[in-house]
Amino acid sequence: AQRVTQPEKLLSVFKGAPVELKCNYSYSGSPELFWYVQYSRQRLQLLLRHISRESIKGFTADLNKGETSFHLKKPFAQEEDSAMYYCALSKAGANSKLTFGKGITLSVRP
């Protein structure tokens, strides 16, 4: 069965501090991994996908198949990064359903 684990519910940091949001997964096969973000009173939106290998809003995430992890990182957090973050996976190479983690609230204090 496929599963996404986000072990922490809340991460609170000061502005300018580094951020790492953890995500581990279990999946038999090669999944596609995503990070979604939900800002206050806004819809869930795609932040980044592992196959794109992009940096969005200063965030990066590297897929580590050995550790089955896809941690989200940013070297210097900004107040506007405060939001709910969800890690998700789907079957690779096909347009298929997403399996989400429970999410983590990131709070960046001034």
Q: Which residues bind other proteins (CB under 8 A)?
A: 4, 32, 34, 36, 42-46, 49, 51, 86, 88, 90, 92, 95-103
CB nearer other proteins, residue 90 or residue 108:
90
CB of 95 to other proteins, least distance (A): 5
Residue type, 93: G
How many CA atoms lie within 13 Å of 85's alpha carbon, on the beta-carbon side?
31
* Cα–Cα distance measured from residue 88 to residue 97, given in angstroms and rounded to the nearest whole number: 10
Alpha carbon 93 to chain centroid, angstroms: 20
Q: How far is the CB of 103 from other proteins (least distance, A)?
A: 5
Length of the chain counted residue by residue? 110
Nearest distance, CB of residue 66 and other proteins, angstroms = 22
d(CA 19, CA 37): 15
Nearer to other proteins, 42 or 78 (CB): 42
The answer to whether 36 and 21 have CB atoms below 8 angstroms apart is no
Please, which residue, 10 or 66, has the CB nearer to other proteins? Answer: 10
The residue (of 34 and 59) whose beta carbon lies closer to other proteins is 34
From the CB of 91, what's the least distance to other proteins, in Å? 9
